[in-house]
């Protein structure tokens, strides 16, 4: 499974409400027609506060994050070479001010509890300048995952390791043009529980470990919608 995530910004003259409405009602059904699409979610940003942590924040400001899943890279490439792709591009020009794309290798560390009504925080990670990609991946996916699993109140945790980047849609770019190493998904019952989780001894230990390999953590509270 390969997941393609879009980092979305609305046009400046659009309200956030109109942006989210158009993305859901008009653009979503077009993207859902992509051949080979195994899943499509929209994550609407509702809060850009650095909730739960006092970690250094990056410059990113997002209005939404899209998530499209395919069986493999070949299926994904075929989808965006299909007859649906030009329709997507034309529609994106109507409401998006900026779109960057990352392909990620997703790992579900704690499956979100579907029986509960949960809130979700997504975060962009940038590794420290003195940490190479292999070290970042090892620290994040092994030791950091172990620590997060010990935090109270975490009802879901996914790690999305970035494996490809596009600043111009369809054209891979280098790391310096889009310096995001990973995207975190965390679920809690509410924001109070989020705060308590990171203030706990396990949460403090988790964030202390983060300082050894992460430079920036940029967080967003999102409302997620399953399109297909």
Residue 86's closest CA among 39, 6, 31?
Answer: 31
Other C-beta atoms closer than 10 Å to the C-beta of 61 total 11
CA-to-CA distance for 2 and 103, rounded, in angstroms?
7
**Strand intervals (E) in 31-178:** 39-47, 64-70, 96-110, 119-127, 156-168, 171-172
Q: Would you write out the chain's pLDDT as a tens digit for each of its 228 residues?
A: 899 999 999 999 999 999 999 999 999 999 999 999 999 999 999 999 999 999 999 999 999 999 999 999 999 999 999 999 999 999 999 999 999 999 999 999 999 988 889 999 999 999 999 999 999 999 999 999 999 999 999 999 999 999 999 999 999 999 999 999 999 999 999 999 999 999 999 999 999 999 999 999 999 999 999 999
The phi, psi pair for 82, rounded to 5°, reads -80, 175
Q: Model pTM?
A: 0.97
- Tokens 């999102």 locate to 222
CB of 225 closer than 8 Å to CB of 41: yes
Q: What b/e string do you get for 115-139 counting C-beta neighbours within 10 Å, with b at 16 or more?
A: eeebbbbbbbbbbeeeeeeeebbeb
Residue 228, SS3 per DSSP: coil
Residue 22's closest CA among 114, 108, 94?
Answer: 94
Other C-beta atoms closer than 10 Å to the C-beta of 202 total 17
């Amino acid at each position: 499974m390969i997941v393609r995530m879009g980092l979305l910004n609305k046009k400046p003259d659009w309200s956030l409400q109109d942006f989210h409405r158009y993305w859901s009602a008009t653009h979503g059904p077009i993207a859902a027609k992509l051949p080979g699409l195994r899943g499509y979610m929209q994550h609407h940003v509702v809060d850009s506060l650095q909730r739960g942590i006092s970690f250094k924040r990056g410059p990113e400001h997002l209005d939404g994050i899209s998530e499209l899943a395919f069986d493999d890279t070949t299926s994904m490439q075929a989808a965006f070479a299909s007859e649906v792709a030009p329709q997507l591009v034309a529609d994106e020009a109507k409401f998006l001010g900026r779109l960057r794309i990352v392909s990620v290798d997703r790992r579900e560390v704690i499956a979100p509890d579907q029986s509960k009504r949960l809130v979700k925080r997504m975060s962009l990670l940038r590794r420290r300048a003195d940490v190479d990609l292999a070290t970042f991946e090892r620290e994040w996916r092994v030791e950091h995952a172990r620590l997060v699993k010990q935090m109270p109140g975490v009802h879901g945790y996914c790690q999305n390791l970035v494996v490809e980047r596009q600043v111009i849609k369809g054209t891979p770019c280098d790391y310096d043009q889009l310096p995001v190493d990973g995207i975190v998904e965390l679920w809690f019952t509410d924001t109070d529980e989020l705060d308590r989780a990171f203030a706990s001894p396990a949460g403090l230990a988790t964030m202390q470990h983060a300082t050894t390999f992460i430079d920036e953590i940029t967080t967003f509270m999102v409302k997620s919608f399953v399109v297909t």
